[in-house]
Structure formats: C-alpha cells, structure tokens
Structure 1
Amino acid sequence: MDQTKLKELGLRLFEINAFKFGDFKMKVGINSPVYFDLRVIVSYPDVMDTLTDLLTEFIKQIQVDTGVHLCGVPYTALPVATLISIKAKQPMLIRRKEAKTYGTKKLVEGKFNAGDKCLIIEDVVTSGSSILDTVNDLRSEGLVITDAIVVVDREQGGAQNTEEQGVRMHSLFTLSYLLNVLLEAGRIEEKTVQAVAKYIEGAQIKSDGSFMKNGTTVINELSRAGMTFEARADLAKCPVSKELLKLMASKKSTLCLAADLTKSEDILNLVEKVGPYICVLKTHVDIVEDFSDNFVKSLQSLAKKHNFMLMEDRKFADIGNTVALQYGSGLFKISSWADLVTVHSLPGQGVLKGLKSVLTDPSQQRGVFLLAEMSSQGNLATDPSNKTTYQRIEKIGQTEVDVGLCRRGRVFRVPILVAFPGLCC
C-alpha cells in the first residue's frame, strides 16, 4: 500500500468536507465531535478514482477471499462498490433496504446461487449495524458472508460487533489514522486529537444501540427521546415500524388521526383535507354504516396519495383461531388493507400467533400496536397488566408484526413506538 497516496487521500477528503469537526448529532442518537459524509465524493471524480485504486489494492494486500460477488451497503457505498466491481471485474449484487412491493418483489438484485460468497463494501462504520443488516438479508438468500471492506472505521465498536456475527471488518482508514495525518499536516491541533480520542474511548457502541461506559454496558443511555426518527428506524427490527419511523421523519409529523365517523363520504372528505399532515389514520370500520370495498379502495388511494398508514383500531382479544378469522375473513377483511391493527395483550401470545397465521405473503407488511392502557373509566388494564406488557416487549423486542404500545403517556425505557392520544413517538 502506497502510504503517501493514502495520506494524500485523507487530506483530500478533509478538503472536500467529507469529514469535519464540531458538534454533530449522530444516527445512533449521541453527539460527536467529528462527522463523516462520504456522499460528497461522487462530485469529485479524482477522489473516486483514487479511492477505488486504493481499495482494490487494499483488498489484494490483505488477501481477503473476495469470493464471487461484491455488495455495497445501501446507499452511500453503492458508487464505491460499483467502481471496485468494474476495476476488479467482479460481479456485483444490490441489496434493497426494503423488498419491492411490485414486479419480482426482490430484496437482492443480481445473479447468484445459494452458497456463493459475497464481500461487503461500506463507507463509514460506527456500530456496524448497517453492515449487519445487509449481511442478514444476504444470508437469508443463501449467500455466504465472512468479510467486509470499510473506507473509514470510527473505532467505536463496529469491528467487534461484526466479528461477533462472523464477519471480519477490514478498514482502509481508521479515525485515529486520519487524525494523525491531519495533525502532521498542521490542519488540526493536538487538543482536537485528544478530544476525539476521549470521545472514542467513552462511546463504544453496540449493534443494538447500547454503548460501553467505563466497561459497563449502558442500555438506556441512548433513549428514544434522544434519538432521531431516522436513527430509530435503522435500529428497528419490525419492517412496518421501520417504515413508520421513516414516514414520521419525512413528514415531520407524529400525528395519528382517529376518524370516528359513521359515513364513508364524511371520512373520505376529512382524510382528503388532513392527509398531508398525518402519519396514521385510525379507523373503526365496524361503525361505518355504508362500508364497502370501494370505501376501502378509496382509503388506500388516499393513503398512497398523502403518504400515511392505515390503522384499524379493532382491539383483537380472542383465541388465535378466532382472531385469524376476524383479521383475514368476514365482511371487513382487515388484513388485506390495514397496515396496522390494535390488539389487547391480556389474551397472551395466541392473539399474535393468530394474526401471523393470516400473513402468508412476505410482501404483505403488517404491524401491531399492543394495548397497554385504556382511558375509559373503570377499565381493568391496570398496573399489573401494564407491567406484563412492558416486560414482554423488553424481553422479545419487536417481532415481524410488533410495532408498538398504546397507552396514555410516554415510555422512555422501552425501545419501541408508543401511541397515545393523538401521537406516535
């Protein structure tokens, strides 16, 4: 590896503001004195060319088994992976963040066979969660992943986190190396190096968003209240929860509208007016006097037009088999159109199993809000049942159909969406 060329690239990245110093809110929810944005390199062909040459040489030097395919972590690493693919004459795969809901509905694009090896390419690594998301999706398609090539390792636990999942991480740059290059070139002062080094030592982040502090794992330090919706979306395990958080971020809204009207025309007129401002429309279809399939189609059309989700506040609370019939059959066929439903937690796991049994199409993404509290006077959803519901969520986290809790106030200790009158957060 040409160290002179490597140092020159480090300085060039600093010159084009691919990384900078200050006080920045990170994706994982904590502040950082240094920020990397390698997206800007696409505007500098000379940087792209040099980076591609160095990465290709680096891959050969460390003798990584490149296998058959390359795959860039979406989306910033895709241009880099593409250039390496061309230069090294290796086929490339593209992993989508979400499977298409049309056409072939593929999550991984490209030609491959189960058992093929694939080398991951990533731009910047903090906790390694983005690499692991890609690894999990590729492995689910039968691909073998053992190594990842990274442009910059922030040295905050990413290498250890990926190693624990059987993926060795190899970085062209480390944050410490770049700091020393800038210091030697007189671009930064020693106090900046020391400040960043202290930050790295005190913020070793795990893939689940927790981090190490004085050798102790701190679970709730990165609380929901201190994280952006985008960061929480990256950590969400449930696809619908992930999508809802992204929607909340893009619309800059947490509003859930309860359309408790009895005429379909009144509901549709209301939704046409408020649709641009809400994230979720909550319905009670069993009170709609003139319910019809056309009404559902109109609701779905408005949801697509104004970008919001549909929640049927059904409050399922029966045995699994009955719930399955209520969800997928009958007059309302709720599973065919409602992105979200509400469910009482009191009947236990059978309710969720019943709902899951209806969802046989992988492209049919659906979610559940568990009812932890009610506002009605004299209700029996009291503290003991609330605590059991919270414990269940904390124990198993979000499954493929779990999204959040319904209650009357915020809960910061549970890393999941909470819906209370008027809002999701």
Structure 2
Amino acid sequence: METKKEFFLECYKLGIIKFGKFTLKSGIESPFYVDLRPLASDPKILKLLANYLLEMLPLDNFDLICGVPYAALPMATAMSLESYLPLIIKRKEAKQYGTKKMLEGIYTKGQNCLLVEDVITSGASLLETIPEIEKEGITVSDIVVVLDRQQGGKEILENKGFRVHTLFTISEVCKMLREEGHLSLEEVGRINDFLAGNVVKFEEEKRISYEEKLNICDHSVAQKMLKIAIEKKSNLIVSADVTSTKELLDLAEKVGPHIVALKTHIDILLDFDLDETILPLKDLATKYNFLLMEDRKFADIGNTQELQFSYGTYKISQWADLVTAQVIAGYDSLDCFRNVGVVAILEMSSKGTLTDASYREEATKIAQSHPNVFGGVAQNKIPNELLLFTPGINQSTSGDGKGQQYNTPEHAFTQLETDFIIVGRGIYKAIDAEKAALSYKITGWNAYEASL
C-alpha cells in the first residue's frame, strides 16, 4: 500500500479540497472548502480509503458499521465489504410509508456500532445521528473520520465519552500540500489564522489572464478552450440558433475563423442527420479550430441524462466537446458526462429567473467539486478555478421583449469578469454574419485586455 501522504495526494487530484475564500453554511468565511464526495467516484481510492480507516480501529470491538448520511455512506459501504462488518443505513428522515424506520438493515439490541463520518467540523451531524442509532438499543462508542477540520468537533465528542479516530487533520493536509508546492506560505498563514479563531485577511481577488487560468484549470476541455482563445485572440462563442443543417453549416463556415466554440441547440434542427449534419460540422471545427458546445441544458436524474447524452437521435456523446447541464438534480447526476466538459448552469439571463443567490451558491459548490465540470453559465462573478460563460451578450443593451436581458461585452469583462461571451442573434441574424462575428471578436478581446 502506498504511503499515507501519497494516498492523500491521489485524493487531492480529485478536487476534494479547495483553497481561496468560501462562505460556509454558517455564514463564516473560510480559506478552504472540503468536499470528499468525489472519492466515491474512484473505486481504487475508495477501497484504499476503507483500508486506511479500518487499520486505525480495534475491529473486534464492533458488530455493525454505519455511515453518517449522505457523504459517508459510500465509505461505510466500502469498509463493510473489506471488513465483513454488517452495514446499517441511517436515514436523514423517516420514510412516510411502510415501516417509517430511521434505521435500515439487520441488527439487534445491545450491538456496538462503528460510526463513519467524512469531515468533522463542529460535530453537529454526529450529535444528531448518534441518538437516532442509540434509540434502537445500539451502542456507539467509536467514530472514525476521514478529515478533522480542527474546529472543536472532535474535542466536543471526546468530552462526551466517544473515541474519535481521524485519518487526516487539516494541519497535516496543509503541511503535505505545502511540501509539494500546492500551497503558498500566505495561504497556510490564512488557514492557521482561521483555525486559531483570528480574523482572516483575504487577498483581494483580481482578474487573471487566460495564461494564468491555464495553470489552475486542469480539465482537458478548459485547457483546449484557453489555448484556442490565446491563439486566435478571441473569447467569442456564437450561438447557432438556426433550424436547418444548411443554415448551421453556412454559419459555421462564416464565423469559424473568429470563434472559440460554436454553441448548438441540435434538437431544433428540422433535418438533423448524424452523417449529413455532424460530419461536415466536425470537419469545419477542425478546419477553423473551434469546439462544439451542445447547449442541451440537461436537467434530469443521472440515468435519464446518460440516455439523453449517449443514445437517441442526436448521440451527443459522439461529437460534442462540451455540454451544458443544470445541477438541480445534484452532484451525482453529473457523473454520466464522460469524455466531455460540463458547463454548469448556475444562473440564467432571463427576466424573473428563479436561480436566486441561494441556488447559485449551492450550484457553484457542486460545480467546483465535480471533476466533470470546468465552467459555469452565470450573470455574476464565479470562482477563478471555473471558467465563466456569459450569455445574453449584445452590443445593444435593450432586451428582446421575451424576457432576455442583454449585457455588453465591456460589462461582461469588467464587471462580471467573464471568460467567454456568448452571442446569438447579434451575429446569426446580422446581414453579414462573418463581419458581425469579427466585430464581436475584436470588441470582446479588447474588453478582456482592458479588464486585466
């Protein structure tokens, strides 16, 4: 088995911890954000994690194992499979039908249960879970935790008589990342101030260049887009909201030299054909060096989205470089988008949209932590490690009478700090689409350079 440090660095690559400025559920601003759910998507790492956790424990003491819902459930399941300890499942809320039980599985009174948690902060989730288990006559004496944020939760539980075993502390994690060059001294200082309860002085975030983004955006599609932007001196994406293959291919031919990506709504084509539509479109994308962005806005459970993505008439998985997806179905719904980049819909530009500040905050957390997501569509600034795509761009700021609200390229780059502007009717409805695309390309690039 690899060393504990090597194991953590493998986990870190999955994006389980971010450093910067994050507002926690409590409203406190933290210099780091932890989300261990991506570990469940890598079977090798999940198996290794289970064994590391089991090695710390006196296994003969336990009859059962239970994960605190929901993030720790995959970990507890893997530990059960490795140790042969029977698994019980604690619900967050009782079923409203059938047995209405809070605890699922086979158990008897008097058994001792090992509790598994992913991250411990204040210990509140554990203090909620333990009484529900003990109510069934089961004893809880030990708790095993992957990461201790060192904010008092471990001490509170130990003072109540529980034995708490932690695989990593945030201090250990910072030391390992600092040794590997992933954290600066300033970042470590902010984290230490935070842990000590001192006021954290965050650096004022500044607009960063495409070259700088290449160093922090590690998704392969993000890398491609940034390299195309630098090479073509363009941040323009054209929205091809046309209804025939001929119109689509004609538009791609005209705007191709000036764009980073062509955004399609492939299901509005009246004459779609995989060979007649997609093959020549891919040839044009290769010829003019742009990506294909299918604006499908997937918004369903994972299984349905996988079918929509890979099957049916359009077979999007076979040709799209990137797709858009809502995050309303949660983190796991994005797992199906393999071999493409996902741009998460964090906010919409239409008047009266329901994507309010609370929704944006939760959606952004998912976008930051999911390995398939590299960007977001929004009308507000988003974290630097995500690429920002801003639709509703027009050199005129008036709306369209159907709820669309426009932003100018200058506003998008100076106020929103966008990375890519999306222009639709301003180009495909223009008398000369090629001339309009060139105009937006120049305006967008000048606005970007002025914003640095």
Q: TM-score, normalised by structure 2?
A: 0.43
